[in-house]
Amino acid sequence: MDRDPASFAGRGKDVVTHDDVRRFQRLVSRRLNREPVSRIVGEREFWSLTFELADSVLDPRPDSEALVEAVLSAVRDREAPIRLLDLGTGSGCLITALLSELQAATGIGVDIEPVALRVAWRNLIRNGLHQRARLVCANWGSALRGGFDIVVVNPPYVAVRDMDDLAPEVVNYDPHRALFGGHDGLEAYREVVPGLPRLLCSTGLAVLEIGRGQERNVRSLLRGAGFAAIESRCDLAGVERCLLARM
- Residues in contact with ligand SAM by CB under 6 A are 58, 60, 64, 88-91, 93-94, 110-113, 116, 139-140, 154-156, 177-178
Q: How many CA atoms lie within 13 A of 237 on its CB side?
A: 11
Separation of alpha carbons 158 and 245, rounded Å: 22
Smaller CB separation from ligand SAM, 27 or 191: 191
Angle 114-126/93-101 helices, nearest 10 degrees? 30
At its nearest, how many Å lie between ligand SAM and the CB of residue 175? 6
At its nearest, how many Å lie between ligand SAM and the CB of residue 138? 6
Q: How many CA atoms lie within 13 A of 62 on its CB side?
A: 6
At its nearest, how many Å lie between ligand SAM and the CB of residue 188? 6
Smaller CB separation from ligand SAM, 71 or 94: 94
Strands (DSSP E) contained in 17-160 are 43-46, 49-52, 83-87, 106-111, 133-137, 148-153
Smaller CB separation from ligand SAM, 66 or 200: 66
At its nearest, how many Å lie between ligand SAM and the CB of residue 154? 4
Smaller CB separation from ligand SAM, 64 or 127: 64
Separation of alpha carbons 214 and 119, rounded Å: 29
Separation of alpha carbons 214 and 196, rounded Å: 18
At its nearest, how many Å lie between ligand SAM and the CB of residue 185? 11
